Structure 1
Amino acid sequence: MRESTWKGSNETDNNSLTPGVYIVGAGPGDPDLLTVKAQKLLSRADVILFADSLVPREILNFCRQDAEIMPTAQESLETILPVMVERVRSHKSVVRLHSGDPCLYSTIHEQMHLLAEADIPFEVIPGISAFQAAAAKLKVELTVPGLVQTIILTRISGRTQVPSGEELTSLAAHQASLCLYLSARHVEAAQTKLLTHYPADTPVAICYRLGWNDEKIRVVPLAEMASCTSEENLIRTTVYIISPALGKFNGRSRLYDPEYNR
């Protein structure tokens, strides 16, 4: 992909945005978890293209009343891209609003590639990811001294295949804090693979539509991960946190130890 030479979201003299595409992370659902920069961009952009199946409409309350708003859940990239290109070439600013953080499972790689080919400037604005919102809701730290110091973000193979070197069984061998996305439809297979290395009583947080009005969070042993998912009828918009950090453990960081040499 050719790199964009754009310097970013500079404002013009009339407080409008520099024409271009702003790829914005909307977070998991709670409008209050938008970054300040994301709110500013939404309040000033001429055009908003948003993934309406994953981004709640309440977030659109930050938009200008006269902004052009286009839902994209039922659209293909072949439909979405020409809209972005045409609007920017018409000297308009475009926010491409994605759920969570754009660097995770958001399909922005191909969008950036095509925007660069079309010589359309773009900028990426990060957002809160579901695993971070889940940890906050659960009031846990996923890297506990003496227990676990690694976080793995992954998914199980489905319509999108996972490379063989990242197969879930091999990742489970680390017994890290494992955050499993896009896997509710294949939860039985995921549970089987995880049980090859994690103890059956390892806590699992099942987090559905975090930050939405119908949010659900259940914490169960790993052995009950699939049955609980089935009981709650969860097939999408669910992230699983598999981690010993969800259990009871009295660890302490050396950083704030009175003997620590500062």
Structure 2
Amino acid sequence: MTVHFVGAGPGAADLLTVRATRLLGQAQVVLYPGTYLDPEVLGHVSPDAELVDTQNLDLDQIMERLVSARDVVRLVSGDPSVYSALAEQTRRLDAAGVAWDVTPGVPAYAAAAAEVGRELTVPLLAQSVVLTRTQARSTPLPDTESLTAFARTRATLVLHLAITHTRGLMSEIEPEYGAACPVVVVYRASQPDQRILRGTVATIADRVEEAGLRQAAVILVGRALDPRPGGESYLYDPSRERKAH
């Protein structure tokens, strides 16, 4: 048997990879995160498969299902490389002698950027993207990964699992980014109930609180979100010397 960890993407059923849909169609058991998943994603699953919603299960209960099942897919929201609990699950599978593999998915931050039509790395504005989260009722962050430290880079910030702490986070980064720095919040990117809130470091908390957002939202911060003053890529510069083919 092999446990297939499959990135479910940001939610839209048509943003799954071809490999993901094939694995879902073949699986006898599918464990999925009901909190974040558009139910249409499960339309790729065989009618004969057993569906297990993991939103109310702890890690031991999830592992029990993974180890005991055959032809099992473990769907994770977004991409398995970010905030998916992949490491702790695969450690336990290794200890149990169970084979596993990983199928990537569209990460939520990429879907959010696509929905607002923004590149997160605009020449002369930002060439790095920091993916991070808050530390509240969750695993502590390493000492070297404080939001204050990341803010000093003035890179494009992507804040996951942070929507209920928007006001405090904006206060923390304002000294580096400035009150007028653009901020975009995308709730349930790509899903039917998607919402997009636009503002600045100074105003976005008010908009989030007015909208009543409590989960499943990504916060994007940075000057790249307003690329009008940005530069142009050297890769496509007409003056760049190119090899003849």
Structure 1 length-normalised TM: 0.89
The question of 1:224 aligning with 2:224 is answered no
Give the corresponding residue for 1:58: 40
Aligned partners of 2:185 and 2:196 also within 8 Å: yes
Moved more, 120-129 or 77-86: 77-86
Give the corresponding residue for 2:79: 101
Matches within 5 A, 1:13-52: 19-52=1-34
Question: Which consecutive unaligned segments of at least 5 residues does structure 1 have?
Answer: 1-18
Aligned sequence identity (%): 38
Please give the alpha-carbon distance, in whole angstroms, between the structure 2 residues aligned to 1:250 and 1:107: 37
Give the corresponding residue for 1:159: 137
Give the corresponding residue for 1:110: 88
The question of 1:196 aligning with 2:196 is answered no
SS in 1 for 2:56: coil
Please give the alpha-carbon distance, in whole angstroms, between the structure 2 residues aligned to 1:39 and 1:233: 34
Query: For 1:115-136, what per-residue CA distance to the aligned partner results, in whole angstroms no more than 9, with x for missing partners?
Result: 0100000001111111101111
Picking from 221, 224, 228, the partner of 1:245 is 224
Question: Which consecutive unaligned segments of at least 5 residues does structure 2 have?
Answer: none
SS in 2 for 1:123: strand
Shift of 1:148: 0.9
CA RMSD of aligned residues (A): 1.0
Query: For 1:243-262, what per-residue CA distance to the aligned partner results, in whole angstroms no more than 9, with x for missing partners?
Result: 10111224211111111112
How many residues are paired up? 240
Aligned partners of 1:153 and 1:179 also within 8 Å: yes
SS in 2 for 1:231: helix
Please give the alpha-carbon distance, in whole angstroms, between the structure 2 residues aligned to 1:147 and 1:210: 24
Aligned partners of 2:133 and 2:159 also within 8 Å: yes
Please give the alpha-carbon distance, in whole angstroms, between the structure 2 residues aligned to 1:141 and 1:76: 37
Runs of 4 or more, structure 1, over 4 Å off, are: none
Structure 2 length-normalised TM: 0.95
Moved more, 243-252 or 59-68: 243-252
SS in 2 for 1:53: coil
* Letter matched to residue 138 of structure 1: V
Please give the alpha-carbon distance, in whole angstroms, between the structure 1 residues aligned to 2:118 and 2:186: 14
Aligned partners of 1:169 and 1:196 also within 8 Å: no
Please give the alpha-carbon distance, in whole angstroms, between the structure 1 residues aligned to 2:39 and 2:31: 12
Inter-CA distance 172–250: structure 2 relative to 1 (3 Å threshold): closer
Matches within 5 A, 1:148-187: 148-160=126-138, 161-187=140-166
Query: For 1:45-91, what per-residue CA distance to the aligned partner results, in whole angstroms no more than 9, with x for missing partners?
Result: 1110111111121101001111111111111111111111111xxxx
Aligned partners of 1:156 and 1:167 also within 8 Å: no
Give the corresponding residue for 1:4: none
